[in-house]
Chain A
Amino acid sequence: MNRIKISLIASFTVLVLVVLGFTGTLNILSFKKQFTESLVNGYEVVAGESVRKIEYSVKYGKPINNFYGIEALLQQNMQFSEDITNIQIIATNGDLIYNKDGRVEGKSIDAEYRDQIKFTDRTVAIQTKHIQTGGEHQVYLPIFDGNGKWIATYNLSFADAAIQKSFDFYANKILLMLAICGAAALILLIIFNVTMNLVTSEGEVLKVRLLTLIIGILSITQLTFSIYNYQLFKDAYQALSNQTVTIASSTMKYNIDALIKKGVPYDQMFEIDKYFANTAKSIPLIDRIQLVPKGKTSDDAQSKISIELPKDKTGASFSLEVRIDDEVIAKQLRNTVFDGVTVLIISFLFLVEITMFLLMLLRGFVVRAAGVILRRLNRNELFNGEMIRPLTFAFAFAIFMPLSFIPIVMKGKVTAFLGLSEEVLLALPITVEILFAFVATMIAGALIDQYGWRKGFLFGAFAFACGSALSGLADSSYELYLAGRMIVGLGYGFGLLSLRAYVQQTYETERQSGGFSSMFSGLYAGVNGGVIVGALLADRLGYSFVFLLASGIILLSILIALIYTNPTSIEQMRKLDVGQKGVSIWKGFLLNPGVAGFFLFLLIPISVASMFLDYYFPLYAKNHGVSSGDVGRVFLLHGLIVVYLGPILLRLTERWFSNKVSVILSGVIVIAGLLIFAGINTVEAAILAVVFLGVSDSFGLVAQNNYLLRLPQTSQIGSTRALGYFDNFRKFGQMVSPMIFGGLAFMGGYGVGIIGMIFVVLILCFTVIVIRNKEKSLKESA
Chain B
Amino acid sequence: MERWSSNIFSRQFITRYALVLLSLLLLFGTSQAAFSNQASNHADQKPVLKDGTSKWRIGYIETSKFANYAGTLYGIVKGLESSGWIKTTKGLPFTQGSNDSQAIWKWLSQNATSDYIEFNQDAFYSISGDQAKKDAIKARLAKQDLDLLIVMGTSAGKLVKNEKHSIPTLVFSSSNAKASGIVNEIEKSGISNVWAHMDPNRYKLQLRVFYDVFKFKKVGIVYEDSELGRIYSAIDDVKAVSKEKGFDVVEEHVIEPVDFAKDYEPYIQSLIQANTRLTKKVDAMYLPLGLWDSPDLPRIIKPFLDAKIPLFSQLGVEEVKMGVLISLARPDFTGIGTFGATKISDVFHAKLPGDLSQVYGDTPSIAINLAAAKKIGYKAPFDILISSDEIYTELVPVSGN
Contact = CB atoms under 8 A, between A and B. Distances in A.
**Bound pair (A, B):** yes
Nearest to B391: A262
Interface in A714-769: 727, 730-731, 734-735, 737-739
Contact of B3 (A69, A404, A730): A404
B14, B383, B386, B391: most-surrounded residue (chain A CB, <10 A):
B14
Contacts of B3: 403-404, 531, 535, 632
A312 to B, nearest CB: 11
Interface string A252-282: 0001001100111000111110110000000
A63 interface: yes
B363 A68 contact: yes
Interface stretch (A166-174, A415-423, A569-577, A679-687): A415-423
Contacts of A636: 4
A307 to B, nearest CB: 17
Given A60-B213, A62-B366, A421-B28, A613 B6 contact: yes
A593 interface: no
Given A423-B28, A430-B18, A532-B1, A63 B36 contact: no
Interface residues of B, number: 65
B2 A535 contact: yes
A400 B8 contact: yes
Given A105-B40, A106-B40, A430-B17, A259 B1 contact: no
A458 interface: no
Given A108-B38, A272-B382, A614-B10, 14 more contacts: A53-B387, A60-B209, A61-B206, A61-B366, A62-B364, A66-B363, A95-B36, A106-B40, A259-B385, A423-B24, A527-B5, A629-B2, A697-B6, A731-B11
B12 A614 contact: yes
Given A270-B379, A734-B12, A639 B6 contact: yes
A712 interface: no
Nearest to B362: A66
Contacts of A431: 14, 17-18, 21
A274 B364 contact: no
Interface string A62-80: 1100111100000000000
Contacts of B25: 424
Interface string B5-35: 1111111111111111100110011111101
B275 to A, nearest CB: 24
Interface of B: 1-21, 24-25, 28-33, 35-40, 205-206, 208-209, 212-213, 328, 331, 361-366, 370, 373-374, 379-389, 391, 393
Interface in A382-407: 396, 399-400, 403-404, 406-407
Contacts of B381: 270-271, 274
A108 B374 CA distance: 46
B385 A264 contact: yes
Contacts of A59: 212, 383, 387
Nearest to A67: B363
B365 A428 contact: no
A597 B36 CA distance: 59
A611 B4 contact: no
Interface residues of A, number: 93
Contacts of B364: 61-63, 66, 68
Q: 4 nearest interchain CB pairs? A: A614-B12, A635-B4, A106-B40, A61-B209
B386 A259 contact: yes
B10 A730 contact: yes
Given A407-B17, A423-B28, A738-B16, A66 B4 contact: no
A566 interface: no
A259 B393 CA distance: 11
A271 B2 contact: no
A61 B328 contact: yes
12 contacts: A56-B384, A57-B366, A63-B205, A269-B382, A270-B379, A271-B379, A271-B383, A424-B25, A431-B21, A435-B18, A527-B7, A730-B10
Given A61-B328, A146-B212, A730-B9, A427 B4 contact: no
Contacts of A632: 1-4
Contacts of A607: 10
B21, B37, B384, B389: most-surrounded residue (chain A CB, <10 A):
B21
Contacts of A56: 383-384, 386-387
A263 B371 CA distance: 11
A26 to B, nearest CB: 11
Nearest to A693: B6
B311 to A, nearest CB: 16
B364, B370, B383: most-surrounded residue (chain A CB, <10 A):
B383
B13 A406 contact: yes
A93 interface: yes
A689 to B, nearest CB: 13
A433 interface: yes
A734 B1 contact: no
B1 A342 contact: yes
Nearest to A536: B1
Contacts of B10: 607, 610-611, 614, 730-731, 734
Contact of B30 (A53, A421, A528): A421
A531 B15 contact: no
Contacts of A454: none
B7 A434 contact: no
Given A69-B389, A628-B2, A60 B328 contact: yes
A332 B67 CA distance: 60
Contacts of B384: 56, 60
A264 B365 contact: no
Interface string A540-552: 0000000000000
A93 B6 contact: no
Contacts of B212: 59, 146
A627 B370 CA distance: 48
B328, B331, B386, B387: most-surrounded residue (chain A CB, <10 A):
B386
A578 interface: no
Given A60-B387, A107-B38, A262-B391, A434 B15 contact: yes
A404 B36 CA distance: 32
B8, B206, B387: most-surrounded residue (chain A CB, <10 A):
B8
Contact of B24 (A66, A416, A427, A527): A427
A471 B87 CA distance: 62
Contacts of A275: 382-383, 386
Contacts of B7: 527, 610, 614, 697
Contacts of A57: 366, 387
A264 B8 contact: no
Contact of B393 (A264, A407, A629, A642): A264
Given A430-B13, A628-B2, A396 B8 contact: yes
Contacts of A730: 9-10
A607 B17 CA distance: 17
Interface in A521-562: 523-524, 526-528, 531-532, 535-536
A335 to B, nearest CB: 12
Contacts of B380: 268, 270
B328 A635 contact: no
A427 B387 CA distance: 46
A466 to B, nearest CB: 19
A437 B14 CA distance: 11
A321 to B, nearest CB: 17
Given A274-B382, A422-B33, A610-B10, A264 B391 contact: yes
Nearest to B327: A61
Contacts of B21: 424, 427-428, 431
Contact of B370 (A264, A631, A731): A264
A342 B37 CA distance: 47
A419 B29 CA distance: 8
A304 interface: no
